[in-house]
Amino acid sequence: MPPSTPFFAEFGPLLFGRPPRSVRDQLSAKLRQADSISGLREAFGPMIPDALLCPQKHGRGSRQRLFSPLLTFWAFLSQVLSPPSACREAVRKVQAWWALRHQVDISPDPSAYCQARARLPDQTLLRVHEQLADRLERNVPAQSRWRGRNLKLVDGTNLSMPDTAQNQGPYPQSSTQKPGCGFPMMKLLGIFSLASGALLHFARGSLHIHESQLFRQLWKHLAKGDVILSDRGFCSFCAISSLLQLGVDSVMRFHPTRRVDFRRGKRLAKDDFLLPWKKPQRRTAAWSQEEFATLPESLTLRHIRWQVRVKGYRTRSLILVTTLLDPETYPAEAIAELYFQRWSVELHFREIKILLGLDIF
């Protein structure tokens, strides 16, 4: 059953490409207009209410300062969006903004700004992130949802960090790296919305924590009716079964360590079968005895074997596993095309790491 030609003709170039030129041009024009703090607030201020950046009532951040949380945030954002940009350049923009509003000059010394930036509470930045993600999700048109379902992409990436004793402790380097030669590594796992592209939730850990364990930390943010789209690293009986108990369906690539026999099970169509999965005899350390005991003894999962043919690339055979069992509501071709879009999560991570300068965290 070959994939539909129009779909792959449209999305195939995005495998190794960038967002459409029209989108890039719009973003570039907006960023050019936002060269100053006033321009930045005019362009993006409606998306970030000032109330989220008010000073704390008590404790750290409660004093009235020149560099308030509001001013510090916008200066910091302008610095991030204009790499490579030193603190002095951010302070220069603050000087221009302050002189325009108050007709008073301030010191060009970046020390006060650097201290204020370090005082920005993590919870404040998280609230800003949650506000942006929620706004993007609420503005997704109904027709952009996949068959009326909310699609969530999950994947992980690694970030290099400065080689300090403080970083080496919680984020040790790879065990294969010779001592003194490597750098601390952070593992970051994110859940993205397929419709809006927003990073909804994230978890972080060391390089020695498997991505599936970080994923479990984010299950509390999933809602009944969501569909998780992931690669084979998350494909396990325990994960699929637990998500199903939460009312969350899955579309995952089949893990190569398992064996599949298409001669067994119920045949729905060519290369489309319902096959049983048995519960593992032994639980892994990631699951407590109580959690493992609540899982069913077996699951019926749908297996779709798909031939990916993109002009200019070798044909590949993929096996997808899903809890979407109804072939009429969820045709095999639609599921295969859906999984093809999973690659967009790699582009999301690339944009975050490159645009925000987080390749070295």
For 35-44, write each residue's pLDDT tens digit.
Answer: 788 888 888 8
Structural domain containing residue 92 = 31-125
Q: Which strands form 249-253's sheet, in the order they lie side by side?
A: 199-206, 185-193, 151-160, 227-230, 249-253, 316-322, 298-308, 272-278, 266-269
Is the same domain home to 234 and 268? Answer: yes
CA dist 191 and 197 (Å) reads 10
CA dist 121 and 53 (Å) reads 10
Is the same domain home to 120 and 151? Answer: no
CATH code for position 241: 3.90.350.10
Q: Please say if the pLDDT value at position 1 is more than 50.
A: no
Is the same domain home to 121 and 145? Answer: no
Residue 325: both structure tokens together: 């069992």
Per-residue model confidence as pLDDT tens digits over 250-283: 999 998 888 888 888 899 999 999 999 999 988 8
The residue among 361 and 156 whose pLDDT is bigger is 156
Is the same domain home to 70 and 171? Answer: no
Query: Is the Cα torsion angle 136, 137, 142, 147 positive or negative in sign?
Result: positive
What pLDDT score was predicted for residue 61? 54
User: Number of structural domains, the chain?
Assistant: 2
Is the same domain home to 121 and 144? Answer: no
Per-residue model confidence as pLDDT tens digits over 301-326: 999 998 877 777 666 788 999 999 99
Is the same domain home to 110 and 169? Answer: no
CA dist 287 and 213 (Å) reads 9
Least confident of 74-78, 296-300, 314-318: 314-318
Per-residue model confidence as pLDDT tens digits over 96-135: 888 877 767 788 888 999 999 998 888 888 999 999 899 8
Report yes or no on 132 lying in a domain: no
Q: Report DSSP letters for 171-219, one per residue.
A: S---TTSPTTT---EEEEEEEEETTT--EEEEEEEETTS-HHHHHHHTG
Bond into 84 cis (ω within 30): yes
What pLDDT score was predicted for residue 345? 87
Q: What is the pTM of this model?
A: 0.81
Is the same domain home to 167 and 249? Answer: yes
